[in-house]
Chains A and B, each alone.
Chain A
């Protein structure tokens, strides 16, 4: 009775991992601020997608290398395009790459990792482990180039290459977790009542690895955005449209001539988003890690 007040404000032992995690996350100020920044960027990306802003990214509307002005808040680039619009539009590109790669590679890694972990010491596991070893051993840039060759300039070859290489880490983590989980009683029970294996793996075991998948997805998201920049710079990345990577690539000539706006703008957008996402990812891990005690 006298503990009722405390119980309403404190999470109970019986609450789920997710309830506890959300409770913990909400009290993590860094994590909340980081999430706010990420949501703000997502809002910008959605606005571009809806055509509300950033649509003038390809217009050649000004002088070459114009300084900041009311029409061009951050000046113009080498051929007179508005740097601000290009940076805003690139936010959409970044989210597109990040989301597509994160979601698909997480799904792929989750499924293959679960299969590999459930069927340890069978040919399925051997095959998946071999595939992961192979993909991890091919130099990343070469792999992207190879896929770009094979797909003959298909605009999504970069995405495909990233998905094909980024799923392996997720799969390894999920595999380890599934090996642990499959000896738990609820799995034995499911097996004892004769549930089909597919159902056991995907309905009973997989949901217990979602916390790994979520954290991995955020890590892959960051990895994808950072890789896009380098790949676009090398000419292996975004083919149509504009991205922070392409902006930095075109800025390399400009900085030699002493014009830094393009470089600084793209770098700042990229840095702030990646930093916020990294911090959000860290806080998420803290909140979801059941072993972690507050230090």
Chain B
């Protein structure tokens, strides 16, 4: 009950963020965005026909009214119909979001878990050759562009010039086996790119925690190294680690899947967003931006609640 109250209070403080995100995106994408009137009217349209279309699109209303309408759409979770296909935005999302989640989740989870594991090894052997090897590898990983990794992995693993083990493009998933075949290359590419950044970040966090006074105390009381690392250090390091993971979720869902999906031709929300960008499909863009903002506020709340669970010093006040 206390938790729920807290979450509600927190959500209210998140409203300025939602307003900010939606206002800026609305201003840039819709208000100053492309005028779709002439795409929709036929040739040699009369003045009335043009006015009619402008009215349908809502262009004749004042800015504030149009923006408020957008907020209403967001609050009721009803974004109308896609400009280009005429399909309901909600049904598009319902179809594509699960695909994106299925595509992105394994790589995201693996990238973080492997990152933490490598960071623990590097931090534990700090200054030794193993640490240097892992950190050197991280810099290399950080220096390769995601795009290059995707293309290279596709050539090596999927194309006929390479091993040809996996499908080159698309998403014909009818069984778990299909699923594994289609996600392998995108997942490997995602993990490869995320690993460098994750390992570096997590190692820095763990090394910082290792230098704390209470770690020295634990050592002075004979705590064995495994317990020291996994109990004393990792529990304290969990706070920044989880924060990073949580805050990357909203962006990974949209931005992370955008490149992968458009390159591999996978019909997820990233591909839909990309197509909406190129065709100027405003209802879809409005939905994606709005949902991301709400997702951010939810993450903010979850993160605070998580803090409370891990760190007894934080109270829900």
> Are A and B direct contacts in the complex by CB distance below 8 Å?
yes
CA distance A244 to B146 in the complex (A): 13
Known: A134-B21, A149-B33. A139 touches B288 (CB 8 A): yes
CA distance A130 to B250 in the complex (A): 18
Would you call B277 and A145 a contact (CB within 8 A)?
yes
Would you call A130 and B258 a contact (CB within 8 A)?
no
CA distance A258 to B140 in the complex (A): 26
Would you call B258 and A229 a contact (CB within 8 A)?
no
Known: A258-B161, A271-B144. A141 touches B20 (CB 8 A): no
Would you call B259 and A234 a contact (CB within 8 A)?
yes
Query: Does B99 interact with chain A (Cβ within 8 Å)?
Result: no
Would you call A234 and B274 a contact (CB within 8 A)?
yes
The smallest C-beta distance from A267 to any residue of chain B, in angstroms, reads 5
Q: How many residues of chain B have a CB within 8 Å of chain A?
A: 47
CA distance A117 to B34 in the complex (A): 39
CA distance A117 to B40 in the complex (A): 50
Neighbouring A residues of B285 by C-beta, 8 Å: 142, 145-146
A138, A230, A236: the one within 8 Å of B25 (CB): A138
Query: Does B278 interact with chain A (Cβ within 8 Å)?
Result: yes
A236, A256, A278: the one within 8 Å of B142 (CB): A278
Would you call A133 and B17 a contact (CB within 8 A)?
yes
CA distance A142 to B292 in the complex (A): 11
Task: Count CB-based A-B contacts (< 8 Å).
Answer: 126
Query: Does B309 interact with chain A (Cβ within 8 Å)?
Result: no
Neighbouring A residues of B254 by C-beta, 8 Å: 139, 141-142
Would you call A236 and B277 a contact (CB within 8 A)?
yes
A141, A248, A270: the one within 8 Å of B255 (CB): A141
Would you call A150 and B145 a contact (CB within 8 A)?
no
Contact flags B119-141 to A (C-beta < 8 A → 1, else 0): 00000001100000000000110
B21, B143, B251, B273: the one within 8 Å of A275 (CB): B143
CA distance A196 to B197 in the complex (A): 42
Neighbouring A residues of B127 by C-beta, 8 Å: 295
Would you call A137 and B32 a contact (CB within 8 A)?
no
The smallest C-beta distance from B255 to any residue of chain A, in angstroms, reads 5
Neighbouring A residues of B280 by C-beta, 8 Å: 149
Would you call A141 and B258 a contact (CB within 8 A)?
yes
Neighbouring B residues of A141 by C-beta, 8 Å: 254-255, 258, 273-274, 277
CA distance A251 to B24 in the complex (A): 35
Would you call B126 and A295 a contact (CB within 8 A)?
yes
Would you call B33 and A150 a contact (CB within 8 A)?
yes
Known: A230-B259, A255-B151. A138 touches B126 (CB 8 A): no
Task: Identify which of B21, B27, B278, B296 gathers the most chain A CB atoms within 10 Å of its CB.
Answer: B21
Query: Does A274 interact with chain B (Cβ within 8 Å)?
Result: yes
Query: Does B301 interact with chain A (Cβ within 8 Å)?
Result: no
Would you call A226 and B33 a contact (CB within 8 A)?
no
Known: A137-B293, A271-B143. A149 touches B28 (CB 8 A): yes
Would you call A230 and B146 a contact (CB within 8 A)?
yes
Q: Which residue of chain A lies nearest to B273 when distances are taken between CB atoms in the complex?
A: A142
Neighbouring A residues of B140 by C-beta, 8 Å: 275
Would you call B278 and A233 a contact (CB within 8 A)?
no
Q: Which residue of chain B lies nearest to A281 when distances are taken between CB atoms in the complex?
A: B139
B34, B147, B289: the one within 8 Å of A248 (CB): B147
Would you call B139 and A256 a contact (CB within 8 A)?
no
Would you call A278 and B151 a contact (CB within 8 A)?
no
Query: Does B159 interact with chain A (Cβ within 8 Å)?
Result: yes
Query: Does B41 interact with chain A (Cβ within 8 Å)?
Result: no
Q: Which residue of chain A lies nearest to B143 when distances are taken between CB atoms in the complex?
A: A275
The smallest C-beta distance from B251 to any residue of chain A, in angstroms, reads 6
Query: Does B199 interact with chain A (Cβ within 8 Å)?
Result: no
- Docked complex: A124-177 residues within 8 A CB-CB of B: 130-131, 133-135, 137-143, 145-147, 149-150
CA distance A267 to B147 in the complex (A): 9
- Docked complex: B144-172 residues within 8 A CB-CB of A: 144-148, 151-152, 155, 159, 161
Q: A137-B250, A142-B273 are in contact. List 14 more A-B contacts (CB 8 A).
A: A130-B16, A134-B21, A141-B255, A143-B28, A146-B285, A149-B32, A226-B145, A229-B147, A230-B147, A236-B277, A260-B155, A263-B151, A270-B148, A278-B142
Can you list 13 residue pairs at the A/B interface with Cβ under 8 Å? A130-B17, A137-B17, A137-B21, A138-B292, A138-B293, A139-B251, A142-B29, A146-B28, A149-B28, A149-B280, A236-B277, A248-B148, A271-B145
What are the 7 closest A-B residue pairs judged by CB atoms, nearest first? Answer: A134-B20, A146-B28, A275-B143, A150-B32, A295-B127, A145-B277, A139-B254
Using a CB–CB distance below 8 Å, which chain A residues touch chain B? Answer: 130-131, 133-135, 137-143, 145-147, 149-150, 226, 229-230, 233-236, 245, 248, 251-252, 255-256, 258, 260, 263, 267, 270-271, 274-275, 278-279, 282, 295
